[in-house]
Every structure is written in structure tokens, then in C-alpha cells.
Amino acid sequence: MRLRGVLFSLASITMDLEDNIFMLAGPVKMHPRVLKAMSSPAINHRSAEFKAINAELRENLKYLFQTTTGQVALISGSGTAGLESVVSSLLHKKDRVLNLVNGKFSERFNDLCKVFAEPTPMNFEWGKAVYPEKVAAELEKGDYRAVTLCHNETSTGVTNPAKEIAALAKKHDCLFILDGITSVAGIEVKPDEWGADAVVMGSQKCIAAPAGLAGVMVSPRAYEELHEEQSCYLSLRAHIDALRDEDDTPWTPAIPLFLAFREALRILKEETIEGRIARTAKLAKASRAAVEAMGLQLFPDKQCASNTLTAIRYPAGFDDGKFRKELRESHRVVVAGGQGSVKGKIFRIGHMGICPISDLLAAYAAVEAAMIKFGHKFERGAAVRAIAKSY
Amino acid sequence: MRLRGVLFSLASITMDLEDNIFMLAGPVKMHPRVLKAMSSPAINHRSAEFKAINAELRENLKYLFQTTTGQVALISGSGTAGLESVVSSLLHKKDRVLNLVNGKFSERFNDLCKVFAEPTPMNFEWGKAVYPEKVAAELEKGDYRAVTLCHNETSTGVTNPAKEIAALAKKHDCLFILDGITSVAGIEVKPDEWGADAVVMGSQKCIAAPAGLAGVMVSPRAYEELHEEQSCYLSLRAHIDALRDEDDTPWTPAIPLFLAFREALRILKEETIEGRIARTAKLAKASRAAVEAMGLQLFPDKQCASNTLTAIRYPAGFDDGKFRKELRESHRVVVAGGQGSVKGKIFRIGHMGICPISDLLAAYAAVEAAMIKFGHKFERGAAVRAIAKSY
């Protein structure tokens, strides 16, 4: 088979950290235009030229979040910094907040809330979606000011029912805070329509910019309730106001990342957000078909399986470290392992951002070879054929 | 004069944001090796390769801070984020902290402390150094847990007596927190020797990396007193422990900036920190000689004038906006204006990081031309001649 031949011949070349098929659940492969924008010489972040860059970012952030009524910010920090900017600026120390937890990132979200508010975690089985009926019952009982949800749990490959949870939060007059770090621009997110009060996205996920920035949007209601009692660097009001009123940032921004993010947003607009989401869905369908064709099991329930990454259970007896080392060293394919309680039990293939079909084919060709090498049995070529058929 | 001829001929080329003599007080010009490192394709930040990068960063951060006993961290955020990581992690809400204020950045440091502790500002005239005797008297009276100082006030071009203030803080058993954002690697900073409990540096200043990272060091005493009551993303303990124990970061780092910072630290080590500091001092001496040769006045007192930038008073009647526009548009020279209460009254020329003598000469050749154009009188060529003589 020609494809695998090419892959195998690569293995003899000296290993290069940057020369691989890069299929993490973020950071993800970046477009050459984004890399080029990032490597610009130093520019003055307090200049008319940079104000024009900020103004473009602001308008394109609104497009990214599909919002016309919301306010937006771009924060120099990771997705966690984006979540903290929302939680520390919107909630008060004594506020009760319901954290819906069904994976590592929603656990972390709960930990973050402990510093700035009074959170109550509501736990759901990892690999299953959050169950709206259970949430509804808790909201009937409790006196919550806010509800948090991780839209796309990359630790388990589950997409949670954000629209339904938003409606429940709204019914109970709670603020709805959505961790959309790995969903915005990969899975439909409609804050204005759903009534989400805050949404956070991460730069190194579905828009395929470098790691290090978080985009944030808040509803008009949430904007009115922002305060600065618990934050300074991550004050969401400071970020929003500077960007809206002055085309500026409150602190020195991570300048090269702003330039790269701008280029990534331009690329997204060229494809359109609907086009990006549809492409991501198509890759996900093909990826799940490949899993099935090899006789492997998805980790999440199929009906809530994420479109931005595929989480796959290892066959019994497989060693995660050895398997991913084989992918990496013999095939130059980089995929993610499991995290937290599913560490060693699953591996995860990201297919968000600008992931091309060629990378998905190459990744599964390598997975096929490694699966067979370590003793899992199926008809060779089944996965890549399934991808081609699905796509 | 050949040099000015070259500069003038440039003015006819189409304006390019990146093609200029870049003399801000940070961000500063970056080495091509740093730009190249920054534009690397996406890599896995949870891999053995990235752990090796983190391990190298940790050891070179210790070199950068000239510490053998301290703990270090590299935070994905601006210098302000670095200061917040120290203040929020080291101080408690009820702690009294004495903020020494003599410029915009020390004012900002005071504002930051208001969120996380009980600060008392002690104000000194802008352009003068902090006065140790006055600080000593206040420390005799007050019950302070900490003292903060901005080592190098870039807003006024003043270097404060950090060693003396550290000794006073130590005498009164106060934690000494030093904003070394624009001094570390440009002016001598010796935390172990002076007894500084926390020092923060900024990536886009004396090490000439891109904006977006803050390096932090803390003393053994300060490390023991770190807590997580007021911070999550900026928890200094989380950053230090992850880097020291796991060669890792607590959250997703700004990956391209880490790669660029690593390269900038390598370049610094090649020059040696002593060499960089000596070069910065030599440029500063030449810069001050140029100011004097044009019959202009430094803004700060000469005995506390900073080596990393030169702050210069405008002659009476000069318009800051027009003057810097002339520098930028006719000569492609980018310098900084004044901030806060000295906005419009001064301009500032940065000469930290990898600033070459050629850039200093070109900057002052342009300043000469613009000064003469707007009516200030002096012997043409005096500034560049003074630089050549001094250097």
C-alpha cells in the first residue's frame, strides 16, 4: 500500500520534533500564514498600527463567538486564564455556583471556582454527557447564582448539551458560563440564541492559532455584573473596555500571538465558521468510521461523541506508553493519551482546526499498523478505507 | 553625512511596520534566532521534548536571576501577571504592604496590591529616586509585612536603589518584592546577596524575547509562605512546583513564546549577563552624552538615570505627537512618549536587550534632524559625534 510505504520510509530519517502528523486535542497544526504572522519582528503595541490590529480582532472575535449583542476580549493567557477572568470578574466570594463535572477539564473548572466563589460539583460518569433532567432537579432545589458547563470535554471526547443546559440556567435566572475552549469554531455555539452569559475559547484549538491566548465573550447582563474585587491582570471588564473603547489592551499583550490569532481568524472567515464546523463534523464521522472498522470501541457514548476529537478505548492488555511511542517513533504520528482516571485506558485523536483529510488518513494508517503490531486483529486497510468511504 | 543620507533615502520607501529602528522601552528588537525559534510549528507541551525545554529554561532562569538558593517560574502573561503571581500568592488580604511610588509602573503596582492586600503608597517625585531615609522612617513606624519597589521606572527613566531598600526591608523583617521587569539582565540585580524575596522580569525587555512571558524568582523564605487563597492561573506555587518537580507547567504554556524565550536566554548566556549589563551601561553613557551634546535635558536626576532607557525633556513648545511622527515617518525611528503626568513633556529612547550601537547612532541622527526641524538649535552632528566619542 503506497500510503503506508511512505510512512514507513519516513521512520529512517532523523527524528525532528516539528516534522510529524500532529493530531493532539490542542495545540493543533498551524497554517504557514499563521506561523509567518507570528514571527514578525517586534512592533509597538501602543501605536496606531496595533490599534487597527486590535479593532480587527474585536470584530472578528464577535464573528467567532457568533454574537451581535455580546462584548468580547482577548486575554494573554491560556484557556484557564480565560475561565478565571470570567469567574473572578463575574462571581463573588459568597456566590453559589453549580459546576457540572464529567471529565478532567470540568473538574479543573470546579477547582478554579473554589478560589473565587462557593461551588458545588455535580458529577456525571466520564464518557457520558451531562444529564439535563438531573441538572433541572438540582436547580429547583438550590439557590445558585451561576451554572458552569464544559461544552466539549476533551479528556473523554464528549460533547455536552450546552443549549439545553443554557435553557435550564435561564429558567432559574442563573448566569450560564460555558467553557467552549475546544468547541468554539469546531462545534456549533450560539451564545445570543442560547442565552449563554459567558463563553471562553482557546487559541490553540479550533481556530488553529498558537497556544497562549483565550477569547472571551459575555452577554449584556453579564457585562453589567462584572467587578474587579478579585482580579487585576485577568479583570474581564478592563480587557473588554480597553478593546471596545480604545482598540487597546489593559496590559502588554503577547504581541506575536495577537498577530498569529488575527491571521487564524482571517483564515477562519475565509472558510466561514459554518464551513469549519461542517468540515470538522465530516472528519469526525470519518474518524469514528475508522474506529469501528478496526473493531475498536469509542470511549464516549456514540450519541455524545465529540466532533473535534475521537477518544478510543485500548484493546485489553495494550500499553499506552508503548503504543504512542510506536506511533511517534515509527510513524511520526503524535496523538494524545488519556488523562486523570482514564489515563492508560484510552488514546485520543484530535481533528479540529485546519486538520486536513491527509493527516487523518496518515494517522489512522499508523494506528492500523501499530494496532496490528501489538496484537489487535482486523482486516488491514479497513480504517483508511472506512475514512475514504465516509469522506 | 553618510549615515543621515541612508536614513533619509529610506523615507521614500513604502512604510513597513516592521522595517524600522525600534527603540522603545520594551518590547525591543529581537534577534533573528529568537524570531526563528518562535515560528516553530506546533509541538506537544506534554512531551519528553518539551520537558527538556522546560528543564533548560529552569536552569537558565536561575542564571538570569543570578540565584542559587531561589526558586523560579515562567508565567504565560505580561510583567503585570508576574507581579500579580507574587502579590496574590505571597500576601494575604489583611497584610499591610508599603508601595514605594515614583512613576507610572510603581503606581500600577500599588493599584495591583489593592486587590490582594492592604497597601500604603509612599510617593516620591517623578524623576527622582526613592529616598531610603524616608523609607527607613516609615518602616520604623508601620507594621508592614512587605515592601515593594519598582527597580527601574521606565516611565521616568529612573533606577531606584534596590540594594539599599532590600537591606531596610530585611532589617524590619519585611518581605522585599522587586519589580525587575526592565532591570533584570540590563542592570545588576542580586537577589541572593541583597535579600530580595521576590523578583519579576518581563520577556520583552532586557533579554529581548517577545512580549507575553514573565519570569519570577522567590527566596526560600518567600517560597515557604506561598499560598493559593487568591489565585489559580497565577498561583506561583503551582508554577514553581511544576517546573521544579516535573519540568512542566500547571496550565498550557504560550508554547511559541517559551521557545523564543529559551533562545533569548541562550543568546544572553553566550554574551554573559555581566557582558549584557556592561554593554547596556556603555550604550546608556553614550546616549546621555548625545543628549548633553544637543543641549537637551535628561528628565531624571543624572545620578539615578537608568541604563536601560534615556528619558529626555522636550524643549519648550515642542509637540510630542508631531515630533515622534516626524521620527517615525521621515526617519523610521520608533521611540516612546511620556506616560501619566509626564505625557507630552518627555520622550524616551530604549537601549536595552540586544540594541546595537548602529541603532543608537541612527536613532540620535534622526533625533538631531527632527530637533533642528522643529527649532531646537545646536551644532549639527553633535549627538552622533558624542556617541562615537563615548563609545
- Complex ipTM value: 0.94
Of B86, B83, B158, B150, which Cα lies nearest the Cα of B122?
A: B150
If you average pLDDT over residues B315-341, what whole number do you get?
Answer: 96
Q: What's the pLDDT score for residue B142?
A: 81
Of B244, B163, B192, which Cα lies nearest the Cα of B68?
A: B192
What are the start-end ranges of the E strands in A180-322?
A: 198-202, 213-218, 309-313
What is the rounded CA–CA span in Å between residue B153 and residue B101? 9
Whole-number percent of chain A with pLDDT over 70: 95
Of B269, B284, B267, B105, which Cα lies nearest the Cα of B187?
A: B284
> In angstroms, what separates the C-alpha of A133 from chain B's closest C-alpha?
31
Q: Is B141 helix (H, G, I), strand (E, B) or coil?
A: helix
Q: Is B295 helix (H, G, I), strand (E, B) or coil?
A: coil
Instruction: Report chain A residues whose CB lies below 8 A from the CB of B76.
Output: 76-78, 81, 212, 254
A79 touches chain B (CB under 8 A): yes
If you average pLDDT over residues B98-108, what whole number do you get?
Answer: 97
Chain mean pLDDT for chain B: 95
- The residue type found at B151 is H
Tell me: pLDDT of B1 over 60: no
If you average pLDDT over residues A9-20, what whole number do you get?
Answer: 56
What is the rounded CA–CA span in Å between residue A168 and residue A174? 8
- The answer to whether the CB atoms of B256 and A252 lie below 8 A apart is no
If you average pLDDT over residues B361-389, what whole number do you get?
Answer: 97
Q: Which of B234, B252, B263, B349 to mutate to test the interface with A (most CBs of A within 10 A)?
A: B252
Tell me: pLDDT of A348 over 70: yes
What is the rounded CA–CA span in Å between residue A211 and residue A269? 20
A15 touches chain B (CB under 8 A): no
What is the rounded CA–CA span in Å between residue A77 and residue A35? 19
pLDDT tens sequence across A149-160: 999 999 999 999
A378 touches chain B (CB under 8 A): no
Least confident interval from A3-12, A14-23, B15-24, B88-97: A3-12
- The answer to whether the CB atoms of B115 and A232 lie below 8 A apart is yes
What is the rounded CA–CA span in Å between residue B248 and residue B45? 8
Beta bridge partner(s), residue A380: none
Predicted structure pTM score = 0.95
Residues in chain A: 391
Q: Which of B35, B78, B112, B232 to mutate to test the interface with A (most CBs of A within 10 A)?
A: B232
A236 touches chain B (CB under 8 A): no
Q: Give B8's pLDDT tier (boundaries 50, 70, 90).
A: very low
Q: Which residue ranges form the domains of chain B, and what is each CATH number?
A: 2-30+273-390 (3.90.1150.10), 32-271 (3.40.640.10)
- The answer to whether the CB atoms of B81 and A77 lie below 8 A apart is yes
- The answer to whether the CB atoms of A232 and B22 lie below 8 A apart is no
B38 touches chain A (CB under 8 A): yes
B324 touches chain A (CB under 8 A): no
